[in-house]
Structure 1
Amino acid sequence: MGGAEARVRAFRLGLRAETRAVWLLRLKGWSILARRFADGPGEVDVIAARGRTLAFVEVKARGDFASAAEAVTLRQQARIGRAAEAFLARRPAYAGYVVTFDVVLVAPGRLPRHIRNAFGL
């Protein structure tokens, strides 16, 4: 498999994982505000709200939950933090919300796992 083909396959896997994560969040009562939000150096997979909580959610798909959890690096956490700052700067209506940084882990044959407050910035 060539490099371009592998990237396309990984991109499609990521989209399917994000879709599964979004459905899980919706079933748990979250409203999805954005998917694949990017602003300058910041990027986050999903932004969701429930009540007065605003969650910036990273989605990780791997062969098992442990590998998926390990894939959320400090560099990615910083990127998500920058996306959160940009999102909040442009949307003052969310200024009073409690902000969390969550992760949804996706593994084959398993329901996705939502981890609240997975990391703090």
Structure 2
Amino acid sequence: MPSPRQQFGQQGEDRALTLLLQAGLKLVGRNFRCRSGEIDLIVLDQETLVFVEVRQRTHNRQGSAADSVNQRKQQRLIRAAEVFLLRNPRQGLRPCRFDVIAIDGDAAPEWIRDAFRVPSP
């Protein structure tokens, strides 16, 4: 049985997925896990593969949901995306981007497209 925290996270992901599907994106994967981290949602935006981080907070005492996707979290997402692409080589031929869907309290989800990029070597 999922914990209350897991149920809360699942509800946020469900809201985010609804938003993405209503915008015409197509679901490729959900909760991709590897040693490097987890990607909440993977969707196709036409030909672009989008890795989506969903952050939900009931209050902003420690900052907004969007603010919580800090550099450390971004690096974990990038590494997890690299693993996904290695395991799914056909998907690696597509352009990729990282989006964040931030949900603060009862407010409508904020969809931040191209929220961050992979740093140049």
For normalisation by structure 2, the TM-score amounts to: 0.86
Matched, 1:105 2:97: no
Name 2:55's counterpart in structure 1: 60
Name 1:84's counterpart in structure 2: 81
Stretches of structure 1 lacking an aligned partner (at least 5 in a row): 1-6
Aligned residues of 1:42 and 1:83 also touching (Cα < 8 A):
yes
Matched, 1:74 2:71: yes
**Displacement of 1:103:** 0.1
Stretches of structure 2 lacking an aligned partner (at least 5 in a row): none
The one-letter amino acid paired with 1:73 is N
* Runs of 4+ with >3 A deviation: none
CA RMSD of aligned residues (A): 1.6
Aligned residues of 1:44 and 1:79 also touching (Cα < 8 A):
no
Q: Distance in 1 between matches of 2:92 and 2:6?
A: 33
Alignment of 1:13-24 (within 5 A): 13-24=8-19
Identity of aligned residues (%): 38
Q: Alpha-carbon deviations, 1:14-33, whole Å to 9, x = none?
A: 11000000000000111111
**Displacement of 1:119:** 0.8
**Displacement of 1:9:** 2.2
The one-letter amino acid paired with 2:13 is E
From 5, 9, 12, the equivalent of 1:10 is 5
- Structure ranking higher in strand proportion: 2
The one-letter amino acid paired with 2:116 is F
**Displacement of 1:110:** 2.3
Count of aligned pairs between the two proteins: 114
